[in-house]
Amino acid sequence: MRAISRRNLLGMGVGAAAALGVGGCSMSGSDGEANKQRVRNSVRARSKPIGDGSTANSGAQPNQPDGPERLEPGQTPPQFVIFSWDGAGEVGNGLFPRFLKLAKDHGAAMTFFLSGLYLLPESKKQLYSPPNNRSGASDIGYLTDPHIKETLRNLRTAWLDGHEIGTHFNGHFCSGSGTVRNWTPQQWQSEIDQAMEFVTKWRTHTGFNEMDPLPFDYRRELVGGRTPCLLGQENLLPAAKELGWRYDASAPGGQQVWPTKKMGIWDFPLQQIPFPGHSYEVLSMDYNILANQSKNSTKAPPANYPGWRRQATGAYIAGFQRAYETNRAPFFIGNHFEQWNGGIYMDAVEEALKRIADERNKDVRLVSFRQFTDWLDAQDPQVLTKLQGMDKAQRPAGGWKSFLSAA
């Protein structure tokens, strides 16, 4: 492993400080496990329960990068890559812990957009009053009690590892008269309030009193989300602005360019990326790749899987390389903990992350949306304006030293 200076920890993700020892050497074996246990014990010791004890104020989140620094004149921007997960429930398929381990192994932070209903037992579903839908209705399933417990354990680990917990709201209504596309700002506010209640009162709703609290104050932690099916952003934003959210990741079909703000909130859309073997591009999310490969079927003939897996991996790598080699626009990737088409999309995103994290790719930062927002807010506005003026796949005129020296 190459030595990493303290300055180069800027923007690094999960476990950057904890996973690196003196001189950039990684800790392993009993030393690493002992350090992780010390962190857990420290968090537990200083935790102050909030409300019914479902959550707790544990102080500053562990395993965060050093504070963001402004780009120096003429400095090449880092290549930010943000992996995010919609729903963030663990249903016994082992995907949540699988990607927590992958992130830890490669120094990555991610954003987990939690569906609030995943912490509400189905026996209590009448507590949910979705806008324009009957009480208790949901277009995603409620989790079993064992799966709620697994989800809670993984969420707790995720936060302690340095990941972000955002929101994917609740019932995931994408069609019909109750679709989120038609919700008003007031209805979005109701949906957010309910998601907050399901996360902060899971102990009351489940009776799982033996479990540790989530070690964060969700009312402070929650600064952004992604809507179901990327619908309804226009009316969500007024509610998000009222709540003081810092970003939204709900817009579809963005280009690989530097982001701007909508209504004072950073807009992080999923992006159109090259699709190997086709002249058109595909959205940077597992389900959209699936829709183009198997026409929405999640159980297509297995003979197709090897080729589709390579194609999905190739799309992610092509999107990364296009940004990395040109305008250095941040690369946003969306996923679900699903075994669609034999799990090929999980394999594809794992392989893509490993290749993106390769040490030969200099200046790459695998971060959460919240960490990326911190970096953006620390930059000189003139520098951001220069970056935002670059088109997709545009190289800096005269090289980065000349291009950003002018700013």
Give the phi and the psi of residue 150 in degrees, each rounded to 5: -65, -40
Q: Does residue 49 belong to any structural domain of this protein?
A: yes
- Position 94 pLDDT exceeds 70: yes
**Tokens standing for 225?**
């989300």
The confidence band for 18, taking pLDDT boundaries of 50, 70 and 90, is: very low
Which region holds residue 330: left if phi is over 0, alpha if psi is between -120 and 50, else beta?
beta
Which region holds residue 97: left if phi is over 0, alpha if psi is between -120 and 50, else beta?
alpha
Q: Does residue 228 belong to any structural domain of this protein?
A: yes
Mean pLDDT on 167-186: 98
Q: Output the pLDDT for position 40.
A: 61
Per-residue pLDDT tens digits for 234-260: 999 999 999 999 999 999 889 999 999
Q: Output the pLDDT for position 47.
A: 85
Q: Output the pLDDT for position 4.
A: 29
Q: Does residue 196 belong to any structural domain of this protein?
A: yes
| Boundaries of domain holding 237 | 7-405
Per-residue pLDDT tens digits for 332-357: 999 999 999 999 999 999 999 999 99
Strands (E), 99-187: 111-114, 164-167
Q: Does residue 1 belong to any structural domain of this protein?
A: no
CATH assignment at residue 162 = 3.20.20.370
Per-residue pLDDT tens digits for 198-218: 999 999 999 999 999 999 999
**Tokens standing for 366?**
């695998």
The confidence band for 151, taking pLDDT boundaries of 50, 70 and 90, is: very high
Domain total of the chain: 1
Instruction: Compute the mean pLDDT over every residue in the chain, rounded to the nearest whole number.
Output: 91
pTM: 0.90
The β-bridge partners of 85 are 112, 335
- Position 265 pLDDT exceeds 80: yes
Q: Does residue 146 belong to any structural domain of this protein?
A: yes
Q: Does residue 2 belong to any structural domain of this protein?
A: no
The confidence band for 141, taking pLDDT boundaries of 50, 70 and 90, is: very high
